[in-house]
Amino acid sequence: MKLGLYIHIPFCRSKCPYCDFNSYPLPEENLVNQYIRALYKEIELHSKKMKEVYLYSIYLGGGTPTVISGLSTNHLIKFIKSHFKTDDATEITIEANPGTINRKKLELLFQSGINRLSLGGQSFNDNLLKNISRIHTSDDIIYSYIIARETGFKNINIDIMYALPEQSLKDLQSDLHKVVDLKPEHISLYGLTISPGTIFYLKKQKNLLKLPSEDIEAEMFLWAIRYLKMKKYEHYEISNFALKDNRSVHNQIYWDNLPYLGIGAGAFSYIRGYRYGNIKNPRDYIDALSRGKVPMVRGEKLSLKKKMSETVILWLRTKDGVNYQKFQRRFKTDIHEIFGEQIESLKKSNMIEENESSCRLSEKGILLANQVFQEFID
């Protein structure tokens, strides 16, 4: 079986006010060490059940994986490789906050076999970085990028955000000019989402956030798409752009609705049509594994219709869109028998473009993607 492996490190130096991920301010060192030992135990539990598994992608996300020591991460990667089959083609990614890495740490990460670095830059405007409570500066992003290149990393992603408080179109343009000047292989561009339970959500409720209008937000996104295309970055997924042959292997596993294993507090897995999630709280996660228990708390066996719906939605996120023959091969049925009405309706409203073999989001559909996806949910 081929799988992608996701490892969740739920700790950060501080919680960003817009973040709704399963992450927590960095606790005392003892708890971090206990958490890493728990990851080892969960890896062992799964590897005993999965004797013939090849990992073509390993992804360390969070939280901020680089808040733990470079040596701990080095040992963790080597432990994974000793329990699952990998090779030189396996893409191994780690997310990094520029405020949490230095040359020595990057050297240890690179020596472990990590071959892709994802820098959470978000903006090159120090005032905007303060507005979203990032712990790094624009200079930190550039320095981190330079030392990563010098260390040997040949595949680097930089995250940029738009529609931030007090951000203008000109601000975003400046950010993207600076990113492109660095020439990373991959750029992820995310619009700010205000999620319930976050500090920004409470501020918005009290009218304390000065956000760009929806029209400005749309203008930002469309400008970014056109500019990055001009600079030879392929817009291969709604929020992701890559130079030739540098699409993210791991994220394509999710967008193609293929199997993956999640290790860590709150991590999700999708294997043999069954999706399940782990215990979210790190202390409870550690406790379960200390007692030899698999830390799974919730799961479901997806119905055929739900698999079809989710697959279409995920495919529509990508430049390649929904390939009708591929759908036929995977589900043994014609897509138009299942979703013909939705496709026709979305085509009439100019949300999707269709030819004989496939359909994909139009420019209008990209801006209103969530409305499109809703059409395929039961």
* Tokens describing residue 109: 């990460």
Same domain, 225 and 317: no
Cα within 13 Å of Cα(322), Cβ side: 27
Is residue 295 included in any domain, yes or no?
no
Which of 223, 255, 287 represents a domain boundary (last residue)? 255
Same domain, 14 and 121: yes
Is residue 66 included in any domain, yes or no?
yes
Which of 255, 290, 313 represents a domain boundary (last residue)? 255
- Domains identified in the chain, total number: 2
- Residue 82: give the domain boundaries: 2-255
Task: State the DSSP H helix or E strand holding residue 142, giving kind and residue range, or none if neither.
Answer: helix 138-151
Q: What is the pLDDT of residue 27?
A: 86
- Residues constituting the chain: 378
pTM over 0.85: yes
Q: What is the pLDDT of residue 188?
A: 98
Is residue 248 included in any domain, yes or no?
yes
Same domain, 219 and 365: no
Is residue 182 included in any domain, yes or no?
yes
Q: What is the pLDDT of residue 1?
A: 87
Same domain, 210 and 330: no
Q: How far apart are CA 139 and CA 143, in angstroms?
A: 6
Same domain, 156 and 48: yes
Q: What is the pLDDT of residue 191?
A: 97
Is residue 336 included in any domain, yes or no?
yes
Is-contact 188 157, C-beta < 8 A? Answer: yes
Same domain, 9 and 154: yes
Is residue 195 included in any domain, yes or no?
yes
Is residue 277 included in any domain, yes or no?
no
Q: How far apart are CA 90 and CA 57, in angstroms?
A: 5
Q: How far apart are CA 238 and CA 44, in angstroms?
A: 36
Q: How far apart are CA 248 and CA 355, in angstroms?
A: 27
Q: What is the CATH number of the domain that holds 204?
A: 3.20.20.70
Which of 255, 288, 322 represents a domain boundary (last residue)? 255
Please tell me whether the peptide bond between 264 and the residue prior to it is cis, using omega within 30 degrees of 0.
Answer: no
Same domain, 173 and 314: no
Same domain, 217 and 316: no
Tens-binned pLDDT, residue by residue, of the chain (378 aa): 899 999 999 999 999 999 999 999 988 899 999 999 999 999 999 999 888 899 999 999 999 999 999 999 999 999 999 999 999 999 999 999 999 999 999 999 999 999 999 999 999 999 999 999 999 999 999 999 999 999 999 999 999 999 999 999 999 999 999 999 999 999 999 999 999 999 999 999 999 999 999 999 999 999 999 999 999 999 999 999 999 999 999 999 999 999 999 999 999 999 999 999 999 999 999 999 999 998 999 889 999 999 999 999 999 999 999 999 999 999 999 999 999 999 999 999 999 999 999 999 999 999 999 999 999 997
Q: What is the CATH number of the domain that holds 314?
A: 1.10.10.920
72-126 confidence digits (pLDDT tens): 999 999 999 999 999 999 999 999 999 999 999 999 999 999 999 999 999 999 9
Q: What is the pLDDT of residue 33?
A: 96
Same domain, 16 and 152: yes
Is residue 291 included in any domain, yes or no?
no
Q: How far apart are CA 360 and CA 298, in angstroms?
A: 33
Cα 324 to the center of its chain, rounded Å: 26
Same domain, 30 and 125: yes
Same domain, 182 and 62: yes
Kind of pairing between the strands at 358-361 and 322-323: antiparallel
Give every CB contact of residue 367 below 8 A, 6+ residues apart in sequence. Answer: 218, 221, 222
Same domain, 147 and 16: yes
